[in-house]
Structure 1
Amino acid sequence: MSSSLRRGALAASAIAFSIASLAACGAGNNAQTLEIKPDNAATSVGVIKVQNAVVITQPDAKANGPAVVSATLFNGGATDQTLQSIVVAGSDGKAELKPAEGQQLTVPAHGRLIIGGKDNASATLANSRESVQNGNAQKVTFTFSETGAVSLRAFVVPATSYFTEWGPSETPAAPAAATSAPAGGPSASDKPQGDNAGASAPAASPSASATPSASASN
């Protein structure tokens, strides 16, 4: 075999070995590390895992409306756990929790509970305009019946782009600027209303002095 053929065979063997090594790493005990992971907050305590936690505000930053918490809760244990509360640091009180129609706020054993989005359970923060600010990473605490408190920092984002379908169902419009009538102009109560608009005042009836008297006719 010529030296050029030997060099070619050695190069091919080296490439094959490299590919095989990479494949072995990808198929190892933690092959999922090669998957794309979301940037949203995630943590775990005991058998409970919280993923994709985010606080979503109104799409219009000037709108006075509620915000919501969105997350996916996993239970790796053998016993169901109830989600008892969600608290966002700085907000007034606990989020209002509502289960999906016909369901309960339970994270089933070896199952999951989705918070936020159409037909899922919801967690609503009332009066959130001042308590949560877009761009913040605020502490969110989920409390479960068995595991207790599980806390993490979640990003605060508006309900735009990807988060549109996960944002608050109540989206009031931004307050409109008040308008007033020009100074000295007639007010609405001074203007003619209904069928009388544009009609002139009725003419005065002839006075008694305009009626010919008996003495004048004589």
Structure 2
Amino acid sequence: MSRSLRHGAFAATALVFSIGTLSACGAGNDAQTLQVRPDNAATAVDSIKIQNLNIITQAEPDAEGPAVIAATLFNDGTKQEVVEKVTLPGTRATVELKPAKGKGPLVIPAGGRLIIGGKNNASAVIENGRQAGDDGGVQNVAFTFSETGDVELAASIVPATSYYEGFGPTALPSAEPEPTPSDSGTPDTPSDVESESPSGTETEPASGAESDSDAGTDATH
């Protein structure tokens, strides 16, 4: 092989290696750790990045109950960001925000991240999950940050099954059946009252009457 061909082969190998390296860097450690899926909504505005955004509904299609918003928020800035509110534009749904522990706002520390959804994480709960939309659809989610302002992007609506099972909302408890007469007890029947009343009133007087009669007989004799 000539020197020029060898140089060409080396250059092609270096190019392939560079592309592979850049692809790996583009995925990043966070992508692997957080299991970023390519079909999840993501965006970046100023120092805020939003990844893995989904609206997760009840596992059963006909189940009533809340839905939740799941997302990972990154803050590349030098100041902490507070998630002041989250809304679903175009709907009447309300979103209740709760930190992972205790009470207070949802804070993204400077240079840190905030995970919303899943066990032991902050939560964003949509009380009436059906107001968020139907499974398989798309719904806009608007975040309001203390420093960056409003950031809006579309989220997929998915049921809490398979990959999303551990991030889904808690189902409402099933309605308890109404108590039956046998369960709640029935009032005493007249027969019960009659059977109890004579035994209660006759026992002591009867024994007393017999003792008086016997005493009178003994006195006569």
Instruction: Using structure 2 for the length normalisation, give the TM-score.
Output: 0.69
Q: How much does 1:134 deviate?
A: 0.4
Q: How much does 1:81 deviate?
A: 1.0
Q: How much does 1:33 deviate?
A: 3.5
> Corresponding residue for 1:120?
121
Tell me, yes or no, if structure 1 residue 26 matches structure 2 residue 30.
no
Tell me, yes or no, if structure 1 residue 66 matches structure 2 residue 66.
yes
Gapped regions of structure 1 (runs ≥ 5): 1-5, 179-187, 203-218
More helix by share: 2
Q: SS of the residue aligned with 2:135?
A: coil
1: CA distance, partners of 2:110 / 2:181: 67
Change in Cα spacing, 1:100 to 1:63, as seen in structure 2 (3 Å) is same
Conserved 8 A contact 2:92-2:131: no
- What CA deviation, in whole Å up to 9, does each residue of 1:182-210 have, x standing for no partner? xxxxxx659xx78x9xx9xx9xxxxxxxx
- Counterpart amino acid of residue 92 in structure 1: R
> Corresponding residue for 1:134?
135
- What CA deviation, in whole Å up to 9, does each residue of 1:101-145 have, x standing for no partner? 157510110111110000000000011224421011110001111
> Corresponding residue for 2:54?
54
Q: How much does 1:89 deviate?
A: 2.9
- Counterpart amino acid of residue 69 in structure 2: V
- Counterpart amino acid of residue 72 in structure 1: T
Conserved 8 A contact 1:40-1:54: yes
Q: How much does 1:158 deviate?
A: 0.1
Change in Cα spacing, 1:13 to 1:87, as seen in structure 2 (3 Å) is same
Percent of pairs with identical residues: 41
Q: How much does 1:93 deviate?
A: 4.2
Change in Cα spacing, 1:12 to 1:71, as seen in structure 2 (3 Å) is same
- Counterpart amino acid of residue 132 in structure 1: G
1: CA distance, partners of 2:114 / 2:16: 36
Q: SS of the residue aligned with 2:13?
A: helix
- What CA deviation, in whole Å up to 9, does each residue of 1:31-70 have, x standing for no partner? 5336775220001111111111000000011111000000
Gapped regions of structure 2 (runs ≥ 5): 195-221
Conserved 8 A contact 1:85-1:94: no
- Counterpart amino acid of residue 112 in structure 1: R
Q: How much does 1:20 deviate?
A: 1.8
1: CA distance, partners of 2:147 / 2:13: 46
Instruction: Using structure 1 for the length normalisation, give the TM-score.
Output: 0.70
- What CA deviation, in whole Å up to 9, does each residue of 1:8-30 have, x standing for no partner? x98776554422211123335x7
Change in Cα spacing, 1:147 to 1:130, as seen in structure 2 (3 Å) is closer
> Corresponding residue for 1:161?
162
> Corresponding residue for 2:80?
80
RMSD over aligned CA atoms reads 3.7
1: CA distance, partners of 2:163 / 2:172: 16
- Give the length in aligned residue pairs: 183
